[in-house]
Amino acid sequence: MNVVWFKRDLRTEDHIPLAEAARYGEVLPLYAAEPSVWGAGCLSARHFQFVRESLEDMQHSFEKMGGSLYTFTGEIEDALEAIYETCGGFSLHAYRESRSEAEVQKHTRVREWMTDRGLAFHEYEEYGAAGKNAKQRWEAFVRSEAARMPSRLFMPEKIPDRFYSGSEKLKSLAALGSPIKFGQQGGEAQALETIETFLNERAASYLENRSNPLQSTISSSRLSPYLAWGNISLRTVLQKTSIKIENCDNLFPVEQLTAFMDQLKVRWKLVEGEVEAISELCLHDETPPLFDKWHEGETGIPFADACMKCLHKTGWLPAKYRGMLASFGIAVLKLDPAACSEALASLFLDYEPSIHTEQMKKVSSKVVNPVKIGKTEDPDGVFIKRYLPVLERVPVKYIHEPWNYPGFFQLDYQAPVIDLKKAIKRVKKGTEGKNKPSDSEQLSFDL
């Protein structure tokens, strides 16, 4: 019997472990919802909601193959032990881990567990074979053939009692935070639909609008959560984009998709990068009350607050403003970097450890002015008023600095928690001569 262990690869198309396992005989597709993963750290209820939606979608795909996806609540080693006791010997198939230190360590423990029992663990590279020449690796990866989805699966007769078909039983597992109503829905079908609408329609204004706080919801690809949770493979996105570029006509500017391809290449480089703890950044003075104001979008700085409210509500925000929130919290408000990093990670629906940590380190020392950015990107305050309705009737003249509005104290809105201009001036004076990130360095990969 061949067990396929699903983690952040929640799809059936272009899935190498599934395709290979199906060649050897009976297949048991397995997802283990581990309390050690979902009970602490950066993963939250919104992530688990997305995962459950993805598993539900996968179940439909497996049923079409004559099979079923099985889920287990508990640690993966306990799941493997249950299989061993019920079915005897088996082989395990999974993608090799590289996203975070914790996931790499877990993968190593599983490998040792299998080795101790004389069982085969087949590990596969998701982003191409390891090697020193990144250019050659990239070119080989783009040209590589996608794994074919099995047309039919043969399931084992015996299934451990604690395994359940589908994801319904996973609802009992408690994750931190609350689910969201307005986030993107998880699932392979949703991912495939998203890439098609982007390549055929929405990419036409990709470069012009991907940083616009409102228009970016349409013009950016919106593929980042599907890539982060593996609803679609990076190779599939690359190859579909390449085909579209080759067949573009004069009505669809090639430069839009070429820029998107460049972003995909950067993502490919980052996703396998070594993960370092964000706590290695120099620590600032932690002030819990001020942290709460920042985290809840109640700092009295409208554009920053609107961005945070949007993130809480939808789980998504253009990369430029994610970086702004991180920089504003860490560099300007002097909040603890590790606390800010974990808070933002728990809100990003597309949170991916290796990308998040690397980008956090780049933007944390960058000094930003949310008022200045807001005036440039949201001059009429349309975005601000959408997420801060309390400011709906404030004239455009005052929308970015409502404390100057004559009727400010009649508004139910927080006064600024700091004197922003003085705080930024003080920070800049303290960082003179130090290396600073460029304006192009942003937080996370919203694509």
pLDDT digits (tens, 9 = 90+) for 275-298: 444 444 444 444 578 999 999 999
Q: Is the dihedral of CA 169, 15, 197, 180 positive or negative?
A: positive
Q: What is the pLDDT of residue 434?
A: 54
Taking 60 as the threshold, does the pLDDT of residue 299 lie above it?
yes
Model pLDDT for residues 39-49, shown as the tens digit of each residue: 778 999 999 99
Taking 80 as the threshold, does the pLDDT of residue 402 lie above it?
yes
**Span 307-336, mean pLDDT?**
94
**Span 92-98, mean pLDDT?**
91
**Span 27-38, mean pLDDT?**
94
Taking 80 as the threshold, does the pLDDT of residue 363 lie above it?
yes
Which stretches within 229-299 are classed as H helix? 234-246, 254-271, 288-296
Q: What is the pLDDT of residue 98?
A: 72
CATH number of the structural domain 188-271: 1.25.40.80
Say how far residue 106 (Cα) sits from the centre of its chain: 20
Q: What is the pLDDT of residue 279?
A: 44
**Span 73-101, mean pLDDT?**
93
Q: What is the pLDDT of residue 128?
A: 83
Residues of the chain with CATH 1.25.40.80: 188-271
The CA-based angle 281-286-291, given to 5 degrees, is 105
Residues of the chain with CATH 1.10.579.10: 279-430
Q: What is the pLDDT of residue 159?
A: 96
Which of 198-202, 354-358, 427-431 holds the top average pLDDT? Answer: 198-202
Check residue 359 and report its DSSP letter: H
Beta-bridge partner residues of 141:
none
Residues of the chain with CATH 3.40.50.620: 2-126
Taking 80 as the threshold, does the pLDDT of residue 431 lie above it?
no
d(CA 259, CA 205): 12
d(CA 417, CA 25): 63
3-state secondary structure 399-413: CCCHHHCCCHHHCCC
Taking 90 as the threshold, does the pLDDT of residue 315 lie above it?
yes
The larger pLDDT score, comparing residue 15 to residue 434, is at 15
Residue 248 confidence class, pLDDT cut points 50, 70, 90: confident
- The backbone torsions φ and ψ at residue 166, rounded to the nearest 5 degrees and listed phi first, read 85, -170
Distances (CA, A) of 6 to 11, 69, 177, 247, 373: 9, 10, 24, 35, 41
Residue 101 confidence class, pLDDT cut points 50, 70, 90: confident
Say how far residue 409 (Cα) sits from the centre of its chain: 39
Model pLDDT for residues 262-272, shown as the tens digit of each residue: 999 989 988 86
Q: Judge whether 293 and 299 are in contact, CB under 8 Å.
A: yes
Report residue 230 as tokens. 């593996």
Q: What is the pLDDT of residue 135?
A: 85
What one-character-per-residue DSSP string does 188-218 give? Answer: HHHHHHHHHHHHHTGGGGHHHHTTSTTTHHH
Q: Where is the binding site for FAD, in residues?
A: 206, 220-224
Q: Judge whether 163 and 70 are in contact, CB under 8 Å.
A: yes
d(CA 369, CA 363): 13
Exposure on the CB side of residue 253, measured as CA atoms within 13 A: 11
- Considering only CA atoms, which of 314, 36, 75 is closest in space to residue 175? 36
Taking 70 as the threshold, does the pLDDT of residue 435 lie above it?
no
**Span 173-178, mean pLDDT?**
86
Q: What is the pLDDT of residue 39?
A: 77
The larger pLDDT score, comparing residue 432 to residue 171, is at 171
d(CA 210, CA 218): 8
d(CA 396, CA 375): 10
Check residue 330 and report its DSSP letter: I
Cut 0.75: pTM above it: yes
Q: What is the pLDDT of residue 8?
A: 95
**Span 396-407, mean pLDDT?**
97
Q: Where is the binding site, in residues?
A: 206, 220-224
Q: Judge whether 318 and 207 are in contact, CB under 8 Å.
A: no
Task: Report the percentage of the chain scoring pLDDT > 90.
Answer: 72
CATH number 1.10.579.10 is the correct assignment for the domain at 279-430: yes
Task: Decide: residue 439, CB within 10 A, 0-12 exposed, 13-18 middle, 19+ buried.
Answer: exposed
Q: What is the pLDDT of residue 344?
A: 96
Sheet holding 2-6, edge to edge: 121-124, 91-95, 2-6, 27-33, 70-73, 164-165
Specify the CATH superfamily of domain 2-126: HUPs (3.40.50.620)
Task: Report the percentage of the chain scoring pLDDT > 70.
Answer: 91
**Span 291-314, mean pLDDT?**
97
Check residue 33 and report its DSSP letter: E
Average pLDDT for the chain:
90
Round the CA-based radius of gyration of the chain to a whole number and report it. 23
Task: List the single range of 99-113, 180-194, 383-397, 410-424 with lowest mean pLDDT.
Answer: 99-113
Q: What is the pLDDT of residue 300?
A: 98
Residue 441 confidence class, pLDDT cut points 50, 70, 90: very low
Residue 172 confidence class, pLDDT cut points 50, 70, 90: confident
Q: What is the pLDDT of residue 283?
A: 42
Residue 131 confidence class, pLDDT cut points 50, 70, 90: low
Residue 176 confidence class, pLDDT cut points 50, 70, 90: confident
Output the furthest CA–CA distance in the chain (Å, rounded): 76
